Structure 1
């Protein structure tokens, strides 16, 4: 028996359309990349804030594009779980959603121009590729989200690339340490998408998607999620044991209980609503891990 999801009202409609629980995936990489830069330079606040806002806007726009195309392709209905619901439940016109997405892209582009003018115009090329990836994740004739490459794409652009850009605009350099530190965060960003695909496995399969969760099956996909958590934390251990980063980064292990909750929360569950807490815990793991990792660097700088 399906319960009819409640309709939202007023500002709540537009707030949920951004899918706020996903926006930390934009915040964490910018914050970490900027913190890494503090070891060699003073913080440029305007560039940091411009990068942070641009990343959040692109993430929100991506979510809106996702909602628009899932609706136009018939994947979403009033009983769907885990979507913003502005179109199917709250009556917002699809064209309004896609126009708002492009408006947010436009604002992000203006912020990008400011960032480039105060750092390097090479950032413009990288930024445009990121925006194209955001659009084609669910847009275009063969959406990335319908393939086994969604997690890799999300992790690469929303983790690795954003961390490097955030570091570069502050320092005008890139180094191997920043690249290595970006790996666990990139993995955890990808884990958010994997958790989403585990939850939506049955519906996605019916609609012809070929996500990695579908190809592996639910049980093996949960094993993969657990492995991604293990590799993310294992990377921190390797970086500390080789002397590349400070032992203070062990503070990030305070997020391990959330990772365990995320993994075990999927076991034995088949209904999307039952898996929502596990998916939420996966996103929280990324947020807490990234924040604590940044705090570890800050403590290491001042001790």
Structure 2
């Protein structure tokens, strides 16, 4: 039971939000590297081709080690943030009254219920210091992987991005004035799981960013925002009772649900354009093959079927990432 509780504390349904942007950033970086290394075979070789080869060769050599390290950084940071949030919410009492595993089952069967809620570690009786130590270990491992990626790629400014990510993860629910309690969580998620993760990965691997990377970063950010919004809509009642003024609490359930739909439409419109631009028309066709998932997600929220909605939000995050990555590589 303890192992199951710790696995639940990882919040596995949130992990696609960390994997997806790195996958997309790596695929777009591979596209940039391939374009840079493409040159007409003539003799004598143009000076520009020689210069490009000098740039491309080290990037190709370091591509997979840096890509794997970036993926580990993203996953470990997400795990560290999840544990840190569990600790902070637990010691504040925000997670008190959450359903146990048994009552979760009953709630899932009750029509109109808010659905299942995952058990939290501190609220379930795990000593807070143990959860804090777990968060610290995950954060330390993320920092080590990040430092290794920076040493290999030479993108030293990414150290600042990593440090800001750790700080943002802690103060989401930690500290005296957590911004997650003020309704700013969605903004932070968009910045760090969208712009920073995609563009940081692309820069670390290719030494540059482009307009396609920005578009993909926006899509990944919106997908991560939707994952958080579904989670906060599920917890809107308990969060409001404990003074956690998430965006859903501040806006109200109806308006927050409408905003979720707007984000979903925007993410899909931009994602469809991006995938079709990369691989016409098959990228768009592949993405459209999963259109039933976001439709079910936004229709599940008003019915309070949040377990389904969370699974769909995580799936569509990975769906976009996989289709965009395949489109970028094939193109």
TM-score, normalization by structure 2: 0.81
Does the 8 Å CA contact 2:67/2:201 hold for their aligned counterparts? Answer: yes
Q: Supply the distance in 1 between the matched residues of 2:10 and 2:322 (Cα, whole angstroms).
A: 22
Structure with more contact order per residue of length (Cα contacts < 8 Å, sep ≥ 6): 2
* Aligned equivalent of 2:18, options 18, 26, 32: 26
In structure 2, do the counterparts of structure 1 residues 79 and 213 end up closer, same or farther at CA, with 3 Å as the change threshold? closer
Q: Tell me the residue number matched to 1:259.
A: 294
* Aligned equivalent of 1:197, options 217, 232, 238: 232
CA RMSD of aligned residues (A): 1.9
Q: Supply the distance in 2 between the matched residues of 1:84 and 1:32 (Cα, whole angstroms).
A: 31
**Following TM superposition, by how much is the alpha carbon of 1:55 offset from its aligned partner in structure 2, in angstroms?**
0.8
Does the 8 Å CA contact 2:195/2:221 hold for their aligned counterparts? Answer: yes
What count of residue pairs does the alignment treat as equivalent?
A: 286
CA deviation string 1:35-81 (max 9, x = no partner): 11111324711111111011100000100011111111111136345
Q: Supply the distance in 2 between the matched residues of 1:75 and 1:56 (Cα, whole angstroms).
A: 25
Larger radius of gyration: 2
In structure 2, the residue corresponding to 1:38 is in which secondary structure?
Answer: helix
| 2:116 is the counterpart of 1:97 | no
Q: Tell me the residue number matched to 2:94.
A: 75
| 2:176 is the counterpart of 1:126 | no
CA deviation string 1:62-119 (max 9, x = no partner): 0001111111111113634534432232x32110000110111111111111111112
Q: Supply the distance in 2 between the matched residues of 1:12 and 1:237 (Cα, whole angstroms).
A: 38
Q: Supply the distance in 1 between the matched residues of 2:272 and 2:6 (Cα, whole angstroms).
A: 41
In structure 2, do the counterparts of structure 1 residues 99 and 240 end up closer, same or farther at CA, with 3 Å as the change threshold? closer
Unaligned runs of 5+ in 1: 1-7
Q: Supply the distance in 2 between the matched residues of 1:155 and 1:118 (Cα, whole angstroms).
A: 27
In structure 2, do the counterparts of structure 1 residues 203 and 54 end up closer, same or farther at CA, with 3 Å as the change threshold? same
**Following TM superposition, by how much is the alpha carbon of 1:254 offset from its aligned partner in structure 2, in angstroms?**
2.4
* Aligned equivalent of 2:186, options 141, 146, 151: 151
Does the 8 Å CA contact 2:272/2:287 hold for their aligned counterparts? Answer: no
Q: Supply the distance in 2 between the matched residues of 1:297 and 1:244 (Cα, whole angstroms).
A: 6
Q: Supply the distance in 2 between the matched residues of 1:238 and 1:16 (Cα, whole angstroms).
A: 36
Q: Which moved more, 1:230-239 or 1:259-268?
A: 230-239
Q: Supply the distance in 2 between the matched residues of 1:286 and 1:78 (Cα, whole angstroms).
A: 30
| 2:308 is the counterpart of 1:277 | yes
* Aligned equivalent of 2:204, options 144, 161, 169: 169
CA deviation string 1:128-147 (max 9, x = no partner): 01111111111111212112
In structure 1, the residue corresponding to 2:123 is in which secondary structure?
Answer: coil
In structure 2, do the counterparts of structure 1 residues 245 and 179 end up closer, same or farther at CA, with 3 Å as the change threshold? farther
Q: Tell me the residue number matched to 1:53.
A: 72
| 2:234 is the counterpart of 1:211 | no
Q: Which moved more, 1:36-45 or 1:259-268?
A: 36-45
Q: Supply the distance in 1 between the matched residues of 2:197 and 2:188 (Cα, whole angstroms).
A: 12
Q: Which moved more, 1:162-171 or 1:282-291?
A: 282-291
Q: Tell me the residue number matched to 1:297.
A: 328
In structure 2, do the counterparts of structure 1 residues 147 and 245 end up closer, same or farther at CA, with 3 Å as the change threshold? farther
In structure 2, do the counterparts of structure 1 residues 228 and 93 end up closer, same or farther at CA, with 3 Å as the change threshold? same
In structure 2, do the counterparts of structure 1 residues 59 and 240 end up closer, same or farther at CA, with 3 Å as the change threshold? closer
**Following TM superposition, by how much is the alpha carbon of 1:277 offset from its aligned partner in structure 2, in angstroms?**
1.8
